[in-house]
Amino acid sequence: MDIKTVGVIGAGQMGSGIAQVMMTAGYEVLLNDISQDSLDKAVAQIDALLERQVSRDRMAAADKAAAMARLHTTLTLSDLGPSDLIIEAATERETVKMAIFEDLRAHLGRDTILTSNTSSISITRLASRTDRPEKFMGFHFMNPVPVMQLVELIRGIATDDATYDTCLKVVENLGKTAASAEDFPGFIVNRILMPMINEAVYTLYEGVGSVQSIDESMKLGANHPMGPLQLADFIGLDTCLAIMNVLHDGLADTKYRPCPLLTKYVEAGWLGRKTKRGFYDYRGETPVPTR
């Protein structure tokens, strides 16, 4: 199938990033959210990011204008139904995603491919709530989408070859690299990354090191570009906790038990950069460790 139109559900950080890379690659994009404010902010952010590329001579002004003309928004989920490809990028809660796919069912085109940007939830289980499990798969972008080169493609138990091949072609058209992952909790990246972050939180929780010493140790001792606690703040501590719970519940292994300190931060509403406090306090000019 030749993809020309793409529907993106969710205008948050991931959804807006997905919309940006799709429209700049030549696809007509319809971005959906339940909040007009979120849609307006997403469009303004995309416009600002592309304008920055123009100012740095990385994009022609005419190309930017053409890309922005390919971006459309809607508050009505059913408007996405006729799209060739739909990418769900709503909040990382299975009940929310299930409800979205059920609401879409009656409005989908015959050949529409459904995908989810979920970072850990079972693709097979999500697909089972649709009328087209063979045309459903995981399409997991990394954050920030315009910068990160990897896309995980996850087949559910029923995903057919044509659907996979079509999504692979889209990834290639974006100039990104696809990694095929099996449908197990966390897939590849988060199966490895999140337990590392969780272990860093345990290291802090047990008093082995401070926020600063843990992050400096991994940056300078393991050549990581960003410390694990700084990275957790960037991802969002609520997202980290949700993924750890999926790993713990899905794999039934105590090594995936979320650290109580991570849970406490989420309960406090200290979710990282997006709330201005997490393992660092971002309310001043320079981030300050909170422990």
Helix (H) or strand (E) run with residue 153 in it = strand 150-155
3-state secondary structure of 122: coil
210 catalytic residue (yes or no): no
Which of 32, 117, 152, 198 is catalytic? The answer is 152
Which of 16, 92, 116, 140 is catalytic? The answer is 140
Which of 32, 120, 190, 198 is catalytic? The answer is 190
152 catalytic residue (yes or no): yes
Distance CA 266, CA 175 (A): 36
119 catalytic residue (yes or no): yes
72 catalytic residue (yes or no): no
Q: What are phi and psi of 152, to 5 degrees?
A: -85, 130
The DSSP bridge pattern shows strands 150-155 and 136-141 to be antiparallel
Give residue 100's Cα distance to chain centre. Answer: 16
Which of 119, 120, 122, 198 is catalytic? The answer is 119
Distance CA 132, CA 154 (A): 16
Length of the chain: 291
Distance CA 169, CA 228 (A): 33
Residues with active-site annotation: 119, 140, 152, 190
